[in-house]
A and B are shown apart, each in its own frame.
Chain A
């Protein structure tokens, strides 16, 4: 199941770049009218663009499987190295914001489900809609100017201060946390809205089930009914949704890494788009999709672990 998907991912990434009108050489030479047709041909030969499309794809795929994504048009470095250098930062921020999302959204969802139609429920519903509708880059901008510039509480760009080498370990951790606070909070913002809505409806469905009535009927305290019987069951589908949030987080990285100048994969992707650095673009496109695939797989596996019914069904 995974292999054909990965194959398809590479095919789509390749075709996106090669089938779109205008090819890399045209784009690179369009700025200079002086580039002769001879020079263009040479360039095409250099990138193998003179060969038929399927041969180009196979050649690219063969190198790709060996983790050779080619060299960047911009600085001639290996694309693999450039990506590997930046992925840990993006993943750290994504994982931190997933954790933050989970620990805020689930309690909020559960509370508003158990108090359906209460003031708290109405307020969270309004928050959810605003969370869905807020442009994250705008929120980032406002928070940056509020916390970073006006109040001066948090640094506004990068992931460490200039004088980080003079700090001891604890100061470094605080420095790092300060730099990451806004990016993590903002990238979690939209996901919190989505997930709290989802855990609310999942919880609403569960508390109408017969076994919840049974638990109440046998005289359990309300707290126990909710915590032991309802929440545990309501969480199952939430785990899957958490996995589905991953492409949004990775894609969103482009915007907030650019705003906060965080040297992650999103910023690299943005710079590569501006400079039309095709090897890097294709590399990140494939890696981003594979990361999503892995995220979904992890969600599926954890779902199977958490939910015994799935294992029964398979037999």
Chain B
């Protein structure tokens, strides 16, 4: 199964390019401490807002900190937030979707009404409202983005489970005495996960965008910890004198998010069984 998907995925050149970029950025994030040319927080008052040159490839910010270094460290935070937030969203989505789909009836209509209600809120409003109440830190940002992004996954999982739960292999598992938990986790979910993978890939892209927006507004990652979004906040204040401060972090977000979206698109096509059949 994985072999087939990989073969189909490889054919999509844009998605492969996205995957390469993602790997590269992830490696840069992992090895940030080794490859950063400077210290991420050390202030250099003699080199404030200096334009990109040989010593500072991407210039320095208003405190003389190296922009490339801060972006490398920022990539760790931005990527972590993206992944953990999506992990939380998927866990909640799978839980609620499985309960609704498997048990049906009252449970289903109650949970799905809840999803409808949650979908009415403009996500950004919901996130801001929660942030106003809780203490602001990187972990709360991840939790908040996760808690407001699970609805689509739960609908996907529910729909998959509805089509799977009357299938013979599930009935067989039930008949041989497996309890509900085992039936759901061992027999149904493994067969229901491919749309979730696709949604998760797009979700990482969305979460990185959301985090950068929040940090840009000063409601996300708190300085001096760098994130791509909060580097842009100072970029905004100095945009007339220091274009590099706003252009490079923005490009980093754009390229990363674009790569995840391309991979998501490639995954969707590769996992879509309808296209499989037409190929054979």
A residues within 8 Å of B by Cβ? 4-5, 8-9, 12-13, 16-17, 20-24, 27, 129-130, 132-138, 141-142, 144-145, 149, 247-248, 250-252, 254-255, 258-259, 269-270, 272-274, 276, 278, 281-282, 284-285, 288-290, 292-293, 296
Contact = CB atoms under 8 A, between A and B. Distances in A.
Contacts of B219: 273-274
B217 A133 contact: no
A111 to B, nearest CB: 21
Contact of B133 (A22, A132, A136, A270): A22
Contacts of B6: none
Contacts of A284: 125
B250 A141 contact: yes
A135 B128 contact: no
Contact of B117 (A8, A136, A273): A8
A193 B219 CA distance: 27
25 contacts: A5-B117, A8-B116, A16-B133, A17-B129, A21-B135, A133-B209, A133-B261, A134-B254, A135-B229, A135-B253, A136-B213, A137-B217, A138-B232, A141-B232, A141-B246, A142-B250, A145-B243, A145-B246, A247-B120, A247-B121, A251-B123, A278-B132, A281-B132, A292-B121, A292-B122
A274 B133 CA distance: 10
Interface in B111-134: 113-114, 116-126, 128-134
Contact of A255 (B123, B217, B249): B217
B121 A289 contact: yes
B121 A135 contact: no
B239 A272 contact: no
Contacts, number: 156
A254 B124 contact: yes
Interface in B224-277: 229, 232, 235-236, 239-240, 243, 246-247, 249-250, 253-254, 257-258, 261-262, 265
Contact of A129 (B113, B253, B262): B262
* 7 A-B pairs with the lowest CB-CB distances in the bound complex, closest first: A251-B122, A251-B124, A138-B250, A8-B117, A20-B133, A133-B258, A133-B257
A133 B121 contact: no
Contact of A254 (B118, B119, B125, B239): B125
Nearest to B232: A138
B188 interface: no
A164 to B, nearest CB: 25
Contacts of B132: 17, 272-273, 276, 278, 281
A198 to B, nearest CB: 14
Nearest to B122: A251
Nearest to B206: A132
A12 B113 contact: no
A141 B235 contact: yes
Contact of B113 (A4, A135, A285): A4
B154 interface: no
Contact of A9 (B121, B212, B216, B246): B121
Contacts of A290: 120
A141 B249 CA distance: 12
A196 to B, nearest CB: 15
B205 interface: yes
A134 to B, nearest CB: 6
Contacts of A145: 239-240, 243, 246
A8 B114 contact: yes
A133 B249 CA distance: 14
Most chain A CB within a 10 A radius of its CB, from B120, B130, B131, B243: B120
A20 to B, nearest CB: 4
Nearest to B132: A273
Contact of A141 (B14, B117, B205, B239): B239
Interface string B28-59: 00000000000000000000000000000000
Contacts of A17: 129, 132-133
Contacts of B124: 251-252, 254-255
A204 to B, nearest CB: 14
A221 B215 CA distance: 54
A20 B130 contact: yes
A137 B120 contact: no
Count chain A CB atoms within 10 A of each CB in B14, B119, B212, B232 and give the residue with the most.
B119
B126 to A, nearest CB: 7
Contacts of B122: 247-248, 250-251, 288-289, 292
Given A20-B133, A135-B229, A273-B219, 4 more contacts: A138-B253, A288-B122, A290-B120, A292-B121
Contacts of B239: 141, 144-145, 149
B251 to A, nearest CB: 9
Contacts of A144: 239
Contact of A12 (B117, B246, B258, B265): B117
